[in-house]
Amino acid sequence: MTKKLTAGLVAGMATVGSAFAQAAAEAAPAAAKASASAMSLRQAWEYGGWIMWVLGAVSIFALAMVFYFMTTLRSSAIVPHALLADILAKIRGNEVNEARRLCDRQPCPLASVVLAALDCLRNVPQCDVSLLRDAAESEGARQAESIQGQTEFLLDIATIAPLLGLLGTVLGMLTAFGSVATDVASAKPVVLATGVSQAIVTTIFGLFVAIPCMAFYAWFRRRAARQISNLEAAASEVVTALIGIGSGQASFIDRK
């Protein structure tokens, strides 16, 4: 009895092993075929149609904006520390014209704010402290809007790219099911597959463009906010220095 049971187990294991081997042999060509039939980037681009060219142009523009923001949203481009130190030194030394020349030679947001304050001193006969602060704050607000507003381009791209992908999806579905609606009998599987592929590909590429743009926008927005804060602090320091020389000489408070 034991010998018969052992022989049966051996035979069963052999049968299962042969079944697994046959299944593996059948799965290997199927996997190779699936790998061979995988869609390449060129095929995906062709399936996407003209929407892919629009998304490609948008992605190139977004990449250019990323490199541009990396260059412009720096402390050395917005509030150069050396320029700030030189301006403060000239103002405290009562060399206002030299401070103006420094701003003219190195244009930047800080220089624009300082020039606005200096123009107020020179052009307004009765320029008091509040008017001087208003002039500096107005120019500072304009510069802050320029710094913060330019990062909105990435947010716009992150919003437009998925909509372009959705447009490709609608056009692809229209291509796929338009032939079926016209004549069910003459509808070809190739036409259906092409339309569905366009719908899927454009959606994927739209998200590929939108997601990095949104991430970079969040990063540059925080970076711009930090630079604006530095600009406000530097402008306040310059205005305080101007008030200091004015209160000592009554040059722009009383104008007597």
47: in domain: yes
255: in domain: no
Question: Does one domain contain both 118 and 13?
Answer: no
Question: Does one domain contain both 34 and 82?
Answer: no
Question: Does one domain contain both 164 and 240?
Answer: yes
Question: Does one domain contain both 79 and 180?
Answer: yes
87: in domain: yes
- Total count of domains within the chain: 2
Residue 10 domain boundaries: 1-38
Q: How far is CA 89 from CA 27, 81, 114, 118, in A?
A: 79, 12, 13, 15
118: in domain: yes
pLDDT at site 40: 66
Compute the distance between CA of residue 247 and CA of residue 256 in angstroms, rounded to an integer: 13
SS (H, E, C) 63-123: HHHHHHHHHHCCHHHHCCHHHHHHHHHHHHCCCHHHHHHHHHHCCCHHHHHHHHHHHHHHH
254: in domain: no
Question: Does one domain contain both 119 and 240?
Answer: yes
Handedness of CA 104, 124, 254, 130 (dihedral sign): negative
Q: What's the residue count for the chain?
A: 256
Low-confidence stretches of the chain (pLDDT beneath 50): 1-37, 248-256
DSSP letter for 38, please.
S
80: in domain: yes
DSSP letter for 40, please.
P
DSSP H stretches of helix in the chain: 2-36, 41-48, 50-72, 75-78, 81-92, 96-105, 109-123, 129-150, 152-182, 189-249
pLDDT at site 193: 56
Question: Does one domain contain both 96 and 107?
Answer: yes
256: in domain: no
Question: Does one domain contain both 91 and 181?
Answer: yes
Question: Does one domain contain both 58 and 34?
Answer: no
The pTM assigned to this predicted structure is 0.69
Question: Does one domain contain both 7 and 115?
Answer: no
Question: Does one domain contain both 218 and 106?
Answer: yes
Question: Does one domain contain both 226 and 162?
Answer: yes
Question: Does one domain contain both 33 and 77?
Answer: no
